[in-house]
C-alpha cells in the first residue's frame, strides 16, 4: 500500500476510534511497526493526530484529512505508483469504445491513458489542455484539439479565460479527470489555473470518469474541483476506505477496480 493511502487509513482509524495502537494498525495494514511509527511522526507533524506511548490519539480541531500543500514535479508523479496508474489507464481505455469525443484532463494517469490511445488508430477526437498529451497524440493518426491560452510552463498545461471560453462551447461524450485527492467532500487538485478547465470538463461532458489511484484517497489539496455527485465513475486500483466508499455509493458513483 502506498504511504499516502496507508496514512489516510491511519487518520480514518484515529478519527473513528479516538485511539490507535502501533501493534494493531501494523497488523491491519500488514506492515512493520517501524513503518507505522514513521507514519505517526509525519501525521503528528501535520497536526492530524498526537502520538502517545504505543500509539496515537485524535487531536481536537485537527483537519479531517491530510492536506497536500506542494505539487511534486510531473516526472516525479509519473514514477510514483506507476503500476497502479498503468492498470487504471488500461481499464479507462476499455471505456472509450463507441465514444466520438473525449476530454483528457491534465495529470500523470490521464497521460498514461493517452499512451494507449497513441497506439490505437482511428481513436475518437481528443480535446485536452495538456501539451504533453497533445504532443503524444498529435504526431500520429489521432485527431487532437488543444485549448488556447496561457501556458503553465512547469506542467506544460494551458489555462486562462481564453481556454475556458473555447472549451465551454463544446460537448464531450466522456471526460477523463485527474485529481490530487479524493474525499467524501469531492475531488481536489493543486492548481488554481488547471482546476478551471477541470470544472469545464465536468460541466460539459455527458460522462465524468475520475482516474485516481489509492494513494490519493482521503487526501485534500488547495482547490476543490467538484462534489462526488457531479461525477459518474471512479476508476482506481484498490477499494476505497469505508467512509469514502459509503459516500461514493450515496452519490451513485460507479466504482471500477482495475485489478
Over residues 124-142, the pLDDT tens digits come to 899 999 999 999 998 777 8
Beta pairing, strands 19-21 & 172-178? unpaired
Give the per-residue pLDDT at 45. 83
Pick the closest to residue 247 from 220, 233, 259, 229 (CA basis): 229
pLDDT at 49 over 80: yes
**Mean pLDDT in residue range 79-86:** 89
Q: Is 48 exposed, middle or buried (0-12, 13-18, 19+ CB in 10 A)?
A: buried
pLDDT band at 63 (very low <50, low <70, confident <90, very high): low
Whether residues 98 and 51 fall in one domain? no
Looking at the fold, whether 131 and 246 belong to one and the same domain comes out as: yes
Asked whether the predicted pLDDT for residue 122 surpasses 80, the reply is no
Residue 69 is assigned to a structural domain of this protein: no
Which pLDDT score, from 0 to 100, does residue 62 have? Answer: 66
Q: 190 and 84 in one domain?
A: yes
Residue 40 and residue 165 in one domain: no
CA atoms 221, 225, 107, 9: torsion sign? positive
Does residue 114 sit in the same domain as residue 163? yes
When divided into structural domains, the chain yields a total of: 2
Side-chain half-sphere exposure of 248, counting CA atoms within 13 A: 23
Name the 3-class secondary structure at 55.
strand
CATH number at residue 211: 3.40.50.1360
Q: Which domain does 47 fall in, by range? A: 3-57
Confidence of residue 227 (pLDDT cuts 50, 70, 90): very high
Residues 46 and 173 in one domain: no
pLDDT tens across 179-225, in order?
999 999 999 998 888 999 999 999 999 999 999 999 899 888 889 99
Q: Does 62 fall in a domain?
A: no
Strand (E) or helix (H) holding 106: none
Residue 123 has pLDDT above 90, yes or no: no
The grid cell for 5 is 493511502
Domain presence at residue 97 = yes
Give the position of cell 497521460: 111
Shared domain check, 163 and 41: no
Predicted confidence (pLDDT) at residue 69 exceeds the cutoff of 70: no
| Statement: residue 168 has pLDDT above 90 | yes
Q: CATH number of the domain at 7, please.
A: 1.10.10.10
Q: Are residues 156 and 185 in the same domain?
A: yes
Sheet containing strand 233-236, strands side by side:
144-146, 125-128, 101-104, 172-178, 205-211, 233-236, 254-257
Amino acid at each position: 500500500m502506498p504511504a499516502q493511502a496507508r496514512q489516510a487509513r491511519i487518520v480514518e482509524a484515529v478519527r473513528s476510534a479516538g485511539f490507535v495502537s502501533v501493534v494493531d494498525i501494523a497488523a491491519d495494514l500488514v506492515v512493520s511497526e517501524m513503518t507505522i511509527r514513521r507514519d505517526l511522526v509525519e501525521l503528528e507533524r501535520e497536526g492530524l493526530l498526537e502520538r502517545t506511548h504505543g500509539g496515537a490519539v485524535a487531536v481536537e480541531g485537527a483537519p479531517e484529512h491530510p492536506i497536500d500543500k506542494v505539487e511534486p514535479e510531473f516526472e516525479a508523479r509519473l514514477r510514483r505508483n506507476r503500476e497502479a496508474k498503468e492498470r487504471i489507464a488500461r481499464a479507462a481505455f476499455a471505456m472509450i469504445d463507441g465514444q466520438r469525443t473525449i476530454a483528457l484532463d491534465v495529470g500523470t494517469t490521464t497521460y498514461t491513458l493517452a499512451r494507449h490511445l497513441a497506439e490505437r488508430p482511428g481513436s475518437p477526437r481528443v480535446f485536452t489542455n495538456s501539451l504533453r498529451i497533445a504532443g503524444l497524440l498529435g504526431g500520429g493518426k489521432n485527431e487532437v484539439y488543444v485549448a488556447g491560452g496561457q501556458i503553465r510552463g512547469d506542467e506544460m498545461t494551458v489555462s486562462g479565460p481564453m481556454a475556458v471560453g473555447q472549451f465551454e462551447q463544446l460537448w464531450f461524450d466522456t471526460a477523463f479527470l485527474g485529481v490530487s485527492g479524493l474525499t467524501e467532500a469531492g475531488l481536489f487538485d493543486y492548481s488554481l489555473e488547471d482546476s478551471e478547465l477541470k470544472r469545464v470538463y465536468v460541466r460539459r461532458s455527458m460522462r465524468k470518469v475520475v482516474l485516481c489511484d489509492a494513494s490519493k484517497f482521503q487526501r485534500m489539496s488547495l482547490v476543490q474541483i467538484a462534489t462526488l455527485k457531479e461525477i459518474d465513475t471512479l476508476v482506481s486500483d484498490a477499494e476505497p476506505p469505508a467512509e469514502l466508499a459509503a459516500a461514493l455509493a450515496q452519490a451513485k458513483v460507479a466504482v471500477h477496480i482495475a485489478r
